[in-house]
């Protein structure tokens, strides 16, 4: 056990990380910046292991008030039709006094007049945030992380709610999963058009961190985000699922709680699911564990033959090698949900654009400090502020032979195909 809640910090990165010129004329590597952005991890000594840190999230609901206004998007991709909701941060004085019981707390819809007036030429940095499994913009861990940036008055933010989450509506049979990057892609394109001068940054939590990492890998060098942070990414979903099933508490607490959350989401949208899909709601209602839900729903909805095939396809352990923007991953090695055995430390070390910070305490999106604060908010805010205001991102330098390698016989590994590409004769 770490002494009195003092967690050990470790940084994992390429031996030849990218470097930047800074506003004061210095040159710093990505690892230098990550280390400077990360304060000592002093957590609540009474929550001395990952289980206590994780379970305390069900108790400690205090968080900074963050107000939003919602815009509903219609998917532009014909293959992923349907609507999804994006919640945009607004200052409290602009939020309005009326409550909308059909939406999460502190959230209302934009008026037609406000929607027509969206857009500006300002240069304020903007966060694109992705929440965890079955969550939304209202989540406590999310508000703790983004509040320091928003309260500074220098940042804007929006949260992309997964379909059906945060009291959003399901309008087609296209649901969401850990591979669902298409709504994020559409939002980024819309932001780039609507706010052409705003630098965009990505922030993801748990399943949202997995989706964000997959998105960044898919975009590669064409990515419109300037930098990104991923917190408590489960990384290898098959390994993390197996780790949950291996222990009594993992199987009977965490997998059960996560499975129940997904069943509740399905029940909430019962009418729409019956209308737009062939899913067996009666059978779903009798499921217990998350992997059972994935077997019954994700396989049927997406055509995966098994839940493990889905987990392998949706994992982001390979995607991280294709990222070409500054990227910081933050994980706790005592996280009982995002298992430490799934951490892609070797893969992180192959990519000079990525760095991982691990803490020896913190649980799953816990990181509770004494008094109720959340440690992860500090490295998130510090890293984002440095990337937005200190680093000259256009000056990014890459040492020779720092991205990828050629293998024998002309074969080359493509991280986004998760396959070795062998040239034909």
Nearest by Cα to 354 from 202, 181, 252:
202
- What local confidence, expressed as pLDDT, does residue 394 receive? 87
What's the rounded Cα separation, in Å, for the pair 169 and 263? 16
Query: What 3-state DSSP class applies to 262?
Result: helix
Distance in angstroms (rounded) separating the CA atoms of residues 47 and 50 = 8
The reported pLDDT for the residue numbered 97 is 72
**pTM score, whole prediction:** 0.95
For each of the chain's 425 residues, which pLDDT tens digit applies? Answer: 577 899 999 999 999 999 999 999 999 999 999 999 999 999 999 999 999 999 999 999 999 999 999 999 999 998 999 999 999 999 998 887 778 999 999 999 999 999 999 999 999 999 999 999 999 999 999 999 999 999 999 999 999 999 999 999 999 999 999 999 999 999 999 999 999 999 999 999 999 999 999 999 999 999 999 999 999 999 999 999 999 999 999 999 999 999 999 999 999 999 999 999 999 999 999 999 999 999 999 999 999 999 999 999 999 999 999 999 999 999 999 999 999 999 999 999 999 999 999 999 999 999 999 998 999 999 999 999 999 999 999 888 887 654 445 545 577 889 998 877 777 66
Query: What domains appear along the chain, each with residue ranges and CATH number?
Result: 3-236+315-420 (3.40.50.1820), 250-314 (no CATH)
Give the model's pLDDT for residue 209: 98
Q: Give long-range contacts, CB 8 A cutoff, 24+ apart: 409-418.
A: 415/217, 415/318, 415/319, 415/320, 415/321, 415/322, 416/217, 416/218, 416/220, 416/318, 416/319, 416/322, 418/312, 418/318
Active-site positions?
206, 335, 364
3-class DSSP assignment, residue 398: coil
Helices (H), 277-363: 281-285, 290-293, 299-302, 307-314, 345-350
């Amino acid at each position: 056990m770490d002494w009195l809640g003092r967690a050990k910090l470790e940084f994992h990165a390429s031996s030849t990380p990218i470097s930047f010129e800074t506003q004061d004329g210095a040159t710093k590597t990505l690892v230098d910046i990550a280390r400077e952005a990360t304060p000592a991890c002093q957590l609540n000594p009474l929550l001395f292991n990952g289980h206590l840190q994780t379970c305390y999230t069900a108790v400690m609901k205090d968080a900074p008030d963050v107000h939003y206004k919602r815009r509903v998007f219609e998917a532009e991709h014909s293959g992923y039709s349907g609507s999804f909701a994006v919640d945009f941060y607004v200052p409290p004085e602009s939020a309005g006094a009326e409550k909308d019981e059909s939406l999460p707390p502190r959230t209302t819809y934009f008026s037609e007049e406000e929607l027509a007036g969206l857009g500006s030429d300002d240069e304020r940095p903007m966060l694109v945030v992705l929440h965890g499994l079955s969550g939304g913009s209202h989540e406590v861990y999310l508000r703790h992380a983004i509040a320091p940036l928003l309260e500074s008055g220098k940042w804007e933010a929006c949260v992309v709610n997964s379909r059906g989450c945060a009291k959003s509506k399901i309008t087609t049979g296209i649901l969401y999963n850990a591979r669902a990057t298409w709504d994020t892609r559409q939002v980024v394109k819309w932001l780039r058009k609507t706010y052409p001068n705003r630098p965009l940054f990505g922030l993801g939590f748990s399943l949202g961190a997995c989706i964000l990492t997959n998105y960044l890998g898919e975009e590669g060098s064409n990515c419109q985000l300037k930098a990104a942070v991923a917190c408590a990414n489960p990384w290898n979903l098959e390994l993390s699922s197996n780790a949950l099933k291996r222990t009594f508490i993992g199987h009977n607490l965490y997998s059960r709680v996560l499975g129940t959350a997904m069943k509740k989401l399905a029940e909430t949208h019962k009418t729409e699911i019956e209308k737009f899909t062939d899913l067996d709601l009666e059978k779903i209602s009798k499921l217990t564990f998350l992997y059972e839900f994935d077997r019954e729903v994700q396989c049927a909805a997406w055509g995966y033959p098994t839940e493990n095939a889905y987990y392998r396809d949706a994992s982001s352990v390979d995607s991280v090698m294709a990222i070409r923007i500054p990227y910081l991953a933050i994980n706790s090695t005592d996280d009982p949900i995002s298992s430490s055995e799934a951490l892609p430390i070797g893969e992180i070390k192959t990519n000079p654009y990525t760095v991982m910070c691990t803490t020896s305490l913190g649980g799953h999106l816990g990181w509770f400090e004494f008094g109720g604060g959340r440690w992860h908010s500090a490295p998130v805010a510090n890293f984002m502020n440095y990337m937005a205001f200190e680093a000259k991102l256009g000056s990014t330098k890459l040492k020779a032979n720092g991205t990828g390698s050629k293998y024998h016989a002309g074969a080359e590994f493509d991280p986004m195909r998760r396959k070795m590409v062998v040239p034909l004769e």
